[in-house]
């Protein structure tokens, strides 16, 4: 296949058994054949015919101003061969937006890009203008108090899902962080849109409620995926290592943890016949908590035990030791809970970003990190997704959930191409269910 892209066509006239909260982690959507459509072959690639694109054609021709990497080209090719409907899964830091820019440039049709956050709204708008040779003011933006439609428009999920929002003028829908779409309140976006072409982008599609399977109907099948290790081995993203650092609970923490977990295990052991086994066990426990005070009590006990493990006091000392090893590196420390972020920030005098951080302060911290004035940063879930985080070469997961998506997003913060090796540290409390959570969230495992 030639490497040169065809020019756009002008417009014609917890515990491995007891702590499995919901479904098993998602691996990939089932492959399906896309709905047949009229096509014409152009330089070995399949593009919809001019006649099919005509009702949605862009007034101005767009040109992609950058050269996609080989895997980004492969992703678009696979998507086109699937009839322009489907999902591309690439790790955080691998340039999923470039896949969308290339798809938009090739199709040359009016496009709606749907994003989950206000910050992504502005990032996408700026990226479209820069990389598709368009004036910024011609790129529409809807959300965050702004409402300006264009032939290419970026909109938040919340705005797109509004009952009276019309989405029928667009030929291509791009869903960034597509794993959000199956939420009950967002499915209407895909169902009320008339767009014949749909592209979903995500680092991981898995959802705890299992609704990721509905993406096939809403967007299309999984058409292309590459994992972190593949792209790292080919030097598209940074080479990296993962290290686990184990810490002990204090005697007081250990006593409290064991008491809470004993309460949890006793309830499960005595109610096994009522709760059943496997993924449905927790769902049944949640159902029972609506009328059973004891079920509510053990759920609280398990949650409190988890907090003890995730927020172990010894982790602050372990973080300090890791930071000593990396005094000259740019380091991001992630924690699951805001209280732990605050504790780490106060104890180690690190700038912190949480959902409570005012926007101006957040921008100042990120700009300082970007410029090198700041080299260390602690944060919670707020930087997992939807924020253009400056590059770092070391990440420390002080605590995290069992979510594979969260793990991939955090790893992606240190994987942008760079000559030096990136490092990801995971801090784990010994003899707790945190070890199982760390094992389950990793899509692949390297030797440590």
Higher per-residue confidence, 418 vs 144: 144
- Phi-psi category of 443—alpha, beta or left, where left has phi over 0 and alpha has psi -120 to 50? alpha
Q: Could you read off the pLDDT of 377-425 as tens digits, one per residue? A: 998 876 655 555 667 788 888 886 545 556 666 566 555 655 677 788 8
Domain 240-248+312-441 adopts which CATH fold?
Answer: Rossmann fold (3.40.50)
Q: Compute the average pLDDT of residues 228-233.
A: 73
CA atoms within 13 A on the CB side of 357: 22
What is the pLDDT confidence band of residue 42, given thresholds at 50, 70 and 90?
Answer: very low
Residue 219 predicted with pLDDT over 90: yes
CA atoms within 13 A on the CB side of 227: 10
The boundaries of every CATH 3.40.50.300 domain in the chain are 39-226, 240-248+312-441
Q: Compute the average pLDDT of residues 11-19.
A: 38
- Give the per-residue pLDDT at 82: 94
Q: Are strands 45-48 and 39-42 parallel, antiparallel or unpaired?
A: antiparallel
27 vs 289: CA distance, rounded Å = 31
- Give the per-residue pLDDT at 423: 83
Q: Could you read off the pLDDT of 339-357 as tens digits, one per residue? A: 899 999 999 999 998 888 8
315 vs 119: CA distance, rounded Å = 31
- Give the per-residue pLDDT at 38: 30
Q: Which residues contact 433 (CB under 8 A, 6 or more apart)?
A: 14, 15, 19, 261, 305, 306, 309
Closest to 282 measured CA to CA, from 208, 206, 207: 208
Residue 310 predicted with pLDDT over 80: yes
In CATH, 39-226 is 3.40.50.150:
no
**Among 143-152, 272-281, 295-304, 357-366, whose mean pLDDT is lowest?**
272-281
């Amino acid at each position: 296949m030639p490497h040169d892209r065809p020019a756009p066509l002008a417009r014609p006239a917890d515990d491995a058994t007891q702590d499995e909260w919901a479904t098993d982690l998602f691996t990939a959507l089932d492959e399906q054949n896309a709905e047949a459509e009229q096509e014409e072959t152009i330089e070995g690639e399949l593009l919809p015919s001019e006649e099919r694109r005509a009702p949605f054609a862009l007034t101005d021709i767009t040109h992609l101003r950058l050269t996609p990497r080989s895997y980004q080209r492969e992703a678009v090719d696979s998507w086109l061969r699937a009839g322009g409907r489907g999902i591309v899964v690439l790790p955080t830091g691998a340039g999923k937006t470039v896949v969308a820019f290339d798809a938009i440039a090739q199709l040359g049709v009016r496009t709606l890009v749907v994003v989950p956050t206000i910050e992504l709204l502005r990032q996408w708008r700026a990226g479209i203008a820069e990389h598709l040779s368009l004036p910024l003011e011609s790129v529409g933006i809807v959300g965050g108090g702004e409402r300006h439609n264009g032939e290419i428009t970026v909109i938040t999920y919340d705005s797109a899902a509004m009952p009276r929002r019309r989405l029928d003028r667009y030929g291509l829908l791009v869903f960034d962080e597509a794993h959000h779409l199956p939420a009950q309140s967002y499915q209407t976006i895909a169902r009320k849109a008339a767009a014949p072409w749909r592209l979903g982008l995500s680092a991981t599609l898995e959802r705890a409620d299992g609704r990721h399977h509905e993406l096939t109907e809403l967007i299309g099948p999984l058409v292309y995926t590459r994992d972190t290790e593949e792209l790292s081995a080919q030097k598209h993203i940074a080479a990296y290592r993962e290290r686990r650092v184990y810490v002990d609970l204090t005697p007081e923490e250990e006593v409290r943890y064991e008491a809470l977990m004993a309460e949890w295990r006793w309830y499960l052991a005595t109610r096994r016949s009522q709760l059943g086994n496997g993924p449905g066990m927790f769902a049944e426990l949640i159902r029972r908590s609506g009328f059973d005070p004891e079920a509510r009590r053990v759920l609280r006990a398990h949650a409190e035990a988890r907090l003890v493990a995730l927020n172990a006091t010894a982790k602050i000392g372990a973080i300090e030791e890791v930071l000593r090893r990396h005094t000259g590196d740019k380091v991001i420390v992630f924690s699951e809970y805001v209280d732990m972020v605050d504790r780490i920030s106060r104890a180690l005098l690190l700038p912190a970003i949480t959902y409570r951080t005012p926007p101006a302060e957040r921008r100042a911290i990120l700009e300082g990190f970007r410029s090198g004035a700041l080299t260390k940063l602690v944060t919670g879930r707020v930087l997992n997704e939807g924020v253009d985080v400056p590059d770092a070469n070391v990440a420390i997961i002080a605590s995290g959930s069992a979510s594979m998506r969260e793990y991939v997003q955090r790893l992606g913060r240190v994987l942008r191409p760079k000559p030096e090796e990136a490092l990801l540290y995971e801090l784990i409390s010994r003899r707790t269910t945190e070890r199982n959570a760390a094992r389950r969230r990793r899509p692949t495992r390297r030797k440590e």
